[in-house]
Amino acid sequence: MRIDILTILPELLQGPFSASIMKRAQDKGLAEIFVHNIRDYSTNKHKQVDDYQYGGGAGMVMSIEPIAAVLDKLISERKYDEIIYMTPDGEVLDQKTANSFSLYENIIILCGHYKGVDERIRQIYITKEISIGSYVLSGGELAAAVLTDSIVRLIPGVLNDETSALTDSFQDNLLSPPVYTRPPEFRGYKVPEVLLSGNFDLIEKYRDEEAYKRTKERRPDLLD
What ranges do the domains of the chain cover? 2-152, 169-223
pLDDT digits (tens, 9 = 90+) for 151-185: 999 999 999 765 566 566 667 789 999 999 999 99
Name residue 8's amino acid: I
The DSSP letter of residue 91 is E
CATH (residue range 169-223)? 1.10.1270.20
Overall pTM surpassing 0.85 (yes/no): yes
Q: Compute and round to an integer the Cα radius of gyration of the chain.
A: 21
pLDDT of amino acid 224: 83
pLDDT of amino acid 91: 97
Q: Which residues, 6 or more positions from 160, have their beta carbon under 8 angstroms from its beta carbon?
A: none
Instruction: Taking residues 48-60, report their average pLDDT.
Output: 94
pLDDT over 70, % of the chain: 96
The DSSP letter of residue 118 is -
CB atoms within 10 A of CB 172: 14
Taking 80 as the threshold, does the pLDDT of residue 133 lie above it?
yes
CB atoms within 10 A of CB 119: 10
pLDDT of amino acid 168: 64
Phi/psi at 97 (nearest 5 deg)?
-65, -45
Q: Are 109 and 143 within 8 A, CB to CB? A: no
Fold of 2-152: Alpha/beta knot (3.40.1280)
Between 85 and 164, name the one with better pLDDT: 85
Instruction: Taking residues 199-215, report their average pLDDT.
Output: 96
